[in-house]
Chains A and B, each alone.
Chain A
């Protein structure tokens, strides 16, 4: 069964450092998303990406965040200067035929900012 792959599974970084989280979408999917989940809390939408540009973003997705698809396969989330409150599980999700279909989630990257 096709799956969304995220790397790394766990990243520890010092406050103020930049991190890049990587996602390999399911091959024929066109819509990509990043969500985050603070431990024990709900899943929060960050951003959606289609046709090489951002479709929607939430208020969480401020200027510290950026997304890109640098090589046509990987989909990345960059946090420019991490803060303690950025510590969370970050999930990449993708969907195929349109936004009205199910989203397939990756296993997540646990980001710990110290």
Chain B
């Protein structure tokens, strides 16, 4: 079945450092979404990417969708302690209209 892997599994950075998580799907995706889950919380939608090679920015966050629509990345510039949480990518495969397959997640820890 479809698998969506993320690396790294865990990253610990000092506040102000940059952070990147990479998402790789075993199958081509029709679109990809990113979610953030704070410790003890629920997934919260961040963004959706649809087009091949698409890049979107939200303040310090930059999201990319690969040309082959099988990978994606999230880059955070100058992390803050409020960025702490687990970041999940979630993809939809063409033909499976409603099912979102979540990635394995990257847990980000930020310390002062």
Which residues on A are within 8 Å of B, measured CB to CB? 31, 33, 35, 42-45, 48, 50, 55-56, 58-59, 91, 93, 99-108
Complex partner residue of B102 from A44, A55, A102, CB under 8 angstroms: A44
Given the complex of chains A and B, what is the CA–CA distance between A59 and B101 in angstroms?
Answer: 13
Contact assessment for A99 and B92 in the assembled complex, using a CB-CB cutoff below 8 Å: yes
Contact assessment for A42 and B88 in the assembled complex, using a CB-CB cutoff below 8 Å: yes
Residue among A43, A48, A106, A107 with the most chain B CB within 10 A?
A: A43
B33 at the interface (CB under 8 A from A): yes
Nearest A residue to B104 via CB reads A42
Nearest B residue to A98 via CB reads B97
Contact assessment for A42 and B97 in the assembled complex, using a CB-CB cutoff below 8 Å: no
Nearest B residue to A55 via CB reads B98
Complex partner residue of B48 from A43, A102, A104, A108, CB under 8 angstroms: A102
Residues of B in contact (CB 8 Å), total: 26
Contact assessment for A55 and B97 in the assembled complex, using a CB-CB cutoff below 8 Å: yes
B85 at the interface (CB under 8 A from A): no
Given the complex of chains A and B, what is the CA–CA distance between A31 and B103 in angstroms?
Answer: 21
Given the complex of chains A and B, what is the CA–CA distance between A101 and B33 in angstroms?
Answer: 9
Given the complex of chains A and B, what is the CA–CA distance between A102 and B100 in angstroms?
Answer: 10
Given the complex of chains A and B, what is the CA–CA distance between A104 and B43 in angstroms?
Answer: 8
Nearest B residue to A101 via CB reads B48
Q: Which A residues are in CB contact (< 8 Å) with B45?
A: 102-104
Given the complex of chains A and B, what is the CA–CA distance between A84 and B31 in angstroms?
Answer: 35
Q: How far is the CB of B64 from chain A (nearest CB, A)?
A: 18
B42 at the interface (CB under 8 A from A): yes
Contact assessment for B42 and A56 in the assembled complex, using a CB-CB cutoff below 8 Å: no
Contacts A99-B97, A100-B31, A102-B48 given; does A45 touch B43 at CB 8 Å: no
Contact assessment for B102 and A105 in the assembled complex, using a CB-CB cutoff below 8 Å: no
Q: How far is the CB of A16 from chain B (nearest CB, A)?
A: 28
Nearest B residue to A108 via CB reads B42
Contact with A along B18-48 (1 / 0, CB 8 A): 0000000000001101010100011111001
